[in-house]
Amino acid sequence: MARLRIATWNINSVRRRIHLVERFLKQWQPDVLCLQETKVVNELFPREAFDSLGYTHHAIHGQKGYHGVATLSKLPLTEISSRRWTDAEAARHVTSLLPGNIELHNFYVPAGGDIADPVANPKFADKLAFLNAVINWGGGLKPKGKRILVGDLNIAPLEHDVWSHKQLLKVVSHTPVEVDLMTQAMKAHDWVDAARHFVPADQKLYSWWSYRAADWNAADKGRRLDHVWVTPALKPALAGHETVREARGWEDASDHVPVVIDFKL
C-alpha cells in the first residue's frame, strides 16, 4: 500500500517566501504541494528551487502581482489545464492528473472584499458567481471518479472554523450566503471534508490568522479558510491530517498555514 501526501498552502507570494516553502518541503516531505496566491507570471516562477528538491513536475497558472496557483509534484502530472470561472480575468484554478487516475484540482476562491453585499461590492458578487460556477461544475462531474479538491476556498463554513461564530456572521468568509453556497458545492459532487474527517466539527480548527493582530498566537482569532475535499471513492484511503500551525510563527510568514492530508492507496 502506497502513501500519498498532499499539502495545500496559500503562500502569499511564492518568490518572497520561497525560503519558507523550502523549509516546509524539507520538513514535511509531501509528494505534492499545491500553492495559492503565488503572485507571479509563469515565466518568472521559481521552478529551479522546486526542481532541486525533487519537485520536478509543475502545473502552473500564474498572474502578475495577484492570485496565481501552482501544483508542484514529485510524481508525474499529466492532463494539465485551467479554466475561467467568472467574467473576472484571474488565475484561480489549475488541474492535473496524478498516477492512479486521481484528478487533482487546485483552487483559489476570491476573498470577496470587506462588504458582504453583492450590489455594493463587486468583489463579493464575483465570489458568489465563482461559487455558483463551482456548484454547476461539480454537479456535472461523473459521480464515481477519484478526485481531490484543495486550496484557499476563502470560506470558514462551520461554527468552530472561526474564533467566534456569532461575531463573524456578517463578516465576509463566514456569512450565511457563502456558507450555503459552499454547502451546495460540497453536495453537488458529494465531496468529503478531509480535515473534518479527522478533527470533529465541535473542535476549533483554523488555517489563517490575520496580520492585524499584534500577537496572532495569543489572540488566536483564526479561521479555517484552506480545505481539502475528496470524492467518496477516496474516503477509505484517508490516513492522516495536519494543519501546520507552527508555520504561522515563522519569520515573514504567510497569514495562512499548510494543510497536509495523507492517503494510503
Mean pLDDT of all residues belonging to the chain = 97
pLDDT more than 90, % of the chain: 96
C-alpha cell recorded at residue 127: 465570489
Closest Cα partner for 104 from 230, 232, 255, 13? 230
Q: Is the pLDDT of residue 40 over 90?
A: yes
The whole-number pLDDT of residue 101 equals: 96
Cβ atoms of residues 106 and 83 within 8 Å: no
Banded pLDDT at 1 (limits 50, 70, 90): low
Strand-pair category, 208-209 with 93-98: unpaired
Q: Is the pLDDT of residue 216 over 90?
A: yes
Cα distances from 244 to residues 9, 146, 159, 207, in angstroms, run: 10, 26, 21, 8
Whether pTM exceeds 0.85? yes
Domain ranges for the chain? 3-264
Q: Provide the b/e sequence for 76-86 (b: ≥16 CB within 10 Å).
A: ebeeeebeebb
Average pLDDT over residues 100-114: 97
Q: Is the pLDDT of residue 87 over 70?
A: yes
Cα distances from 52 to residues 8, 14, 31, 59, 234, in angstroms, run: 20, 16, 14, 17, 31
The whole-number pLDDT of residue 89 equals: 80
Tens-place pLDDT, residues 137-168: 999 998 889 999 999 999 999 999 999 999 99
Is residue 170 packed enough to be buried (19+ CB in 10 Å), middle (13-18) or exposed (0-12)? exposed
Kindly report the CATH class assigned to 3-264. alpha beta
Average pLDDT over residues 76-97: 94
Greater pLDDT, 88 or 108: 108
Cα distances from 138 to residues 2, 16, 165, 189, 196, in angstroms, run: 28, 34, 28, 5, 20
Q: Is the pLDDT of residue 76 over 80?
A: yes
